[in-house]
Chain A
């Protein structure tokens, strides 16, 4: 029989919730162990908790639940034989997810064919995660402030909240590298900073800002034509050169402040100024008039582009991105392995990008750009995820990626997407802000007849 101790409990927390146990949770189960409760019973009870039942596994098929356990424990999806075996057990033997987890962790000999190298890898990753989880819970339990920070936003109904999400995201990235106490402490500090600073510190301040996009006519962009016109003028020809370019007012008289931690949905018809706004806050466009003060690093995800030429290989693209972000190649191997595994490109990664299909390129760009969390994201909905097979995995990763960002700007026509990630809505109309407020109210405004009459019908 397996002893109920904190490290076994951490395994269960990691498997079900992808995060370490909170001190009160661990203490509760340890106290219950006096009543001779077994690990299998605790696993059963955890699988019935709201956090798992209503948030993680709700309406999900069994293969999703199994894959999620594998991802949480070993950072990989279930292998073909393993997945088939567990689904078979679920269908024919009435196995529940708790039984699958118990057998997965504790049965010494797997009843399906196993890649021993992979199994060794899995054990190593799990040990690393458990070790880090122990360290994390120990550090958290040292201060009542930290205990109060590492808790869900709401218990009934269950809402995980920012700190659980951030910790889950942190644990998703633990693999072979051992995490030091200093790193854990830094991470905990970032949690405390975030919770104190959220919504009190400005991330972006904009005042009376306008952006004019110039459209130059061909005559204005030809030196020879300009020169010829000058000569003709000297010889008496009268030419009107007053209109050598047209300006499109992409953004007009914008004033607003976005606080750190806000999740802003940008709403509006095509050409209303959403993408220009994203480019502006990302620093790609500079304002024509007015002021913008950007106090966070905004990471734009607008289109799938590589930093390197398509003549170069996927590895080159990964390396260039890694060097740009980290300024050295320390830790690149694990970064690359993670990209290869997630994108599913395998040995194609060493081939030139120009030989990839569109779907493969999309997978690679997506995997590279979402490989590490960022403080502030500016995402355009056009930033897709590639082919259908990849979509499920990408959706899950994108969700985690967006959740991990403290501040988010999302331009989208999808209400579902906006409601999932945003709490503030800004409605753009002809480059101006038509409405700025809570997301639901902004969506209501967008759907009013008035907005449609003014912007869509004309």
Chain B
């Protein structure tokens, strides 16, 4: 069954990638800027938050703070949007799930590719603008960021899927998710530096979302990577992926009855 899911996912790859692309296109159909609007809106929030929080935290080097905050926000927005969309994923597709014999993995992959496409669109523009502030970002990205990127992409598939499967079973999870995300955002060093937490720095060790976000940000901004941590994360991600697809397979049996 697990192998069947992978085979189906591979065979139908053009279809789910296409429906995700169409969704991205439809989302920006009314703006003349198209998908560039995503990058601009990110830059706008980075600029605003950077000035406000840079002043609040009495930042001395605004240039590096903007870069730190910018990449942190772009990565966080992707993770957060993947998780917050997940509780209603199957509910949005309920009519198809009840009437078409398409494996549910199709809908999860479509949502995942939509999030990836959204991330790439916003990341490219932010990255391009930041190149004017720090040109070495390009070499950092090309040399150090591969494994952290892989970790991010795998994580935003399996973790939201677990939330999605739990939300199908327990309908009140959907209300809890935005609150939890807000708490995670506020306790993660995204707007502020990790050392600002002082004696509370240990809480980041238990923040798995931050454990995905930070290595990617460090690899791009500082041009360094902790290979040991990255491979451990990669292993956890693969285990999560395997476990989640097994769970999806198991839950598929009662999915049409829960929607």
Contacts and interface: CB of A to CB of B under 8 A. Distances in A.
Contacts of A286: 252-253
B101 A327 contact: no
A225 B171 CA distance: 11
Interface string A282-321: 1111100000000000101011010111011000100110
- Most A CB within 10 A of own CB, among B23, B95, B257: B257
A451 B256 CA distance: 31
Contacts of B256: 279, 284-285
A36 interface: no
Interface stretch (A94-102, A146-154, A213-221, A386-394): A213-221
A328 interface: yes
Given A298-B101, A327-B14, A316 B22 contact: yes
B26 A320 contact: no
Given A216-B258, A222-B171, A312-B26, A284 B98 contact: yes
Contact of A319 (B11, B18, B252, B258): B18
B111 to A, nearest CB: 11
A320 B170 contact: no
A282 B253 CA distance: 13
Contacts of A307: 15, 19, 96, 100, 102
A311 B25 CA distance: 10
A224 interface: yes
B101 A221 contact: no
B99 A305 contact: yes
A327 B23 contact: no
A35 to B, nearest CB: 58
A284 B101 contact: yes
Contacts of B12: 323-324, 327
Contacts, number: 85
Contact of A308 (B22, B99, B257): B22
Interface string B92-128: 1001111111100000000000000000000000000
Contacts of A298: 101
Contacts of B18: 319-320, 323
Given A303-B95, A305-B95, A223 B257 contact: no
B14 A323 contact: yes
A311 B257 contact: no
A202 interface: no
A223 B170 contact: yes
B96 A328 contact: no
B193 interface: no
A284 B22 contact: no
Q: Interface of chain B, helix or strand or loop or mixed?
A: helix
Kindly state the interface size class of chain A when it binds its partner.
Answer: 35 or more
Given A221-B171, A298-B101, A305-B95, A328 B26 contact: no
A441 to B, nearest CB: 31
Nearest to A298: B101
B26 A302 contact: no
Contacts of A221: 169-172
Interface residues of B, number: 30
A352 interface: yes
A328 B102 CA distance: 18
Interface string A220-251: 01111110000000000000000000000000
A264 to B, nearest CB: 18
Contacts of B171: 218, 221-222
A286 B249 CA distance: 12
A213 B257 contact: yes
A328 B14 contact: yes
B144 to A, nearest CB: 36
B101 A303 contact: no
A298 B100 CA distance: 10
B253 to A, nearest CB: 5
A319 B15 CA distance: 8
Given A214-B254, A320-B22, A324-B12, A283 B101 contact: yes
A126 to B, nearest CB: 34
Contacts of A324: 12, 15, 102
B173 interface: yes
Interface string B191-203: 0000000000000
Nearest to A324: B15
Interface string B156-173: 000000000000011111
Nearest to B11: A327
Contact of A320 (B15, B172, B173, B257): B15
Contacts of A328: 14
Interface string B217-259: 0000000000000000000000000000000000011101110
A303 B102 CA distance: 14
Given A214-B254, A221-B169, A352 B26 contact: yes
Interface string B178-218: 00000000000000000000000000000000000000000
B107 to A, nearest CB: 10
Given A216-B258, A221-B170, A285-B256, A311 B23 contact: yes
Interface of B: 11-12, 14-15, 18-19, 22-23, 26-27, 92, 95-102, 169-173, 252-254, 256-258
12 contacts: A214-B254, A215-B257, A221-B172, A222-B170, A300-B99, A300-B100, A305-B99, A307-B19, A324-B102, A327-B15, A328-B14, A329-B14
Interface of A: 213-216, 218, 221-226, 279, 282-286, 298, 300, 302-303, 305, 307-309, 311-312, 316, 319-320, 323-324, 327-329, 352
